[in-house]
Amino acid sequence: MSEQPKVRTTEGLVQGRRRHGHAVFRGIPYARPPVGALRFAAPAPPHRWEGTRQAIEFGPVVPLSLPIDVPPQGTDWLTLNVGTPDPGAAGLPVLVWIPVGGYLSAASSDPMYDPAALAEAGVVVVTVNCRVGAEGFAFLDDAPPNRGLLDQIAALEWVQRNIAAFGGDPGKVTVGGVSAGAGSVAALLTMTSARGLFRRAIAHSVPGLHSTPALARQVTAAFADRLGAAAPTAEALRDIDPWRLAAELTSFNAGLHAHRESWGRLTDTGTALCPVVDGEVLPETPWPALTGGRASGTELLVGHTRDEFRYFSVMSGRYGTFTEEDARAALELHAPRPDGARAYRAAFPQAGPEELVETVYSDALFRMPSQKLAEANAVAGGTSYLFELCWVAPVLGGILGACHSLDVPLAFGTLDSPVGTQLIGEDPTSEAVALSRELHEAWVRFVTTGDAGWPAHRPGGHLTRVLDAESKTLPYPEQASRRIWEGRSPAPFDLS
């Protein structure tokens, strides 16, 4: 048996293992455990160690605020994993993947993010655990805001220090994510502390989820009051078990509708705690920052699915039940003011309540933030490649449509992962395999050269790669929605 691979990082020697023709190193700390005096603090540099650290197992999962039963693990949450074609290589492109969902979960161990196919194609893959939920995004009076984003920057700094030892090129780093991970990527585009840490970006299904400080302060105060804490401060919350805090946030999120009168649009997202536009850590949202010249454009691969909201409506049991009252509420909360509700009804005159609900939620939460990020990045001097996935998930008789997250196992080539089989089936068709190959190859080409393989998306042209059984490059398919949102950027949630 060949010797297991070893790499010397700036903190010490790590030993991984060989797997399917590449090397993997798991659970490497990029910051100290954020517990005790470091809880709710900015990430602190990791400790050094003597001897050889075994990097065989994934690090502990961060406390998750989701309605699933994950047993508490250790507290060394701030770790990352590296999959590399060859630690002895040099100059390989690097993808740093941020696996954040809903700003509530971050599990780099998810088999959907297995690096095997990308490593086989010559890419070094880094997957990152970071703080989410209350640990990462509660707006506390005596703690830095947006700690989850600060963790991501600390991980990118680790990559700059160490990735060459794993065969990667620190000058060819692409940062990527889906959903809240894509929102994190969009935020990093605007943060001065992230400049120089990556060259390119991939963002699938960018959400428009940000809060103003006024709203974030009130939400966190209500959450602290629910916990019986004396104040919305790190000092008051520090002694509460992290997994209890996460469980309480799950319950808190489930009851957001009760606060609709004062908290407005936020209550319709199921996510009480998200990035705060605090003016310092996160100076502003990415769209005005890019179009206003306060952030520089980059090479950006961004896209969304056609039926973004379908997954959520099916999984919640609401699909097929939406009423005219639901449509009116969705338009009132999420259509752009002042005349967006009227514009949607005019643009989709034959649409019933179900289609209106699905269209406005898909647009407001993912499709328009993604398309507008492509445009804003181009205005800022960057090159944007936009896609829309229109291929229908074949499971459940096709009811899921081209739903949220369907594109991720296709791009990673992990069709046999739990999410892959849930959406695509246990025996992928030749059509699914071919589409996966196309998107996967676009990723590899992009992280290697900065070119996704189709014409760039520019203001006025709006060219988009429409991914389907027979993919084509066409003008942006959602033109009616784009016109409704023209001149408007996703605005931070605020007090009503």
For the four alpha carbons of 456, 459, 460 and 466, in that order, the dihedral sign comes to positive
251 catalytic? Reply is no
Which one is catalytic: 308, 375, 388, 478?
A: 308
| Alpha-carbon gap, residue 404 to 417, rounded angstroms | 16
Token pair recorded at residue 336 = 């752009």
Please give the full DSSP string across 233-271, using - where no structure is assigned.
Answer: SHHHHTTS-HHHHHHHHHHHHHTGGGGHHHHGGGGGTT-
* Choice among 65, 105, 108, 179 that is catalytic: 179
Catalytic residue, chosen from 304, 334, 404, 457, is 404
Q: Bridge-partner residues for 387, per DSSP?
A: 303, 465
- Look up 308 and say whether it is catalytic: yes
In our burial notation (b when 16+ CB lie closer than 10 A, e otherwise), range 297-311 reads bbbbbbbbbbbbbbb
Q: How far apart are CA 30 and CA 47, in angstroms?
A: 9
Assigned token pair, 220: 């966190």
DSSP at 125:
E
Q: Which of 369, 381, 391, 368 has the alpha carbon at shortest distance from 437?
A: 391
Tell how strand 463-467 and strand 383-389 pair up: parallel
First to last CA, the chain: 64
Catalytic residues: 179, 308, 404
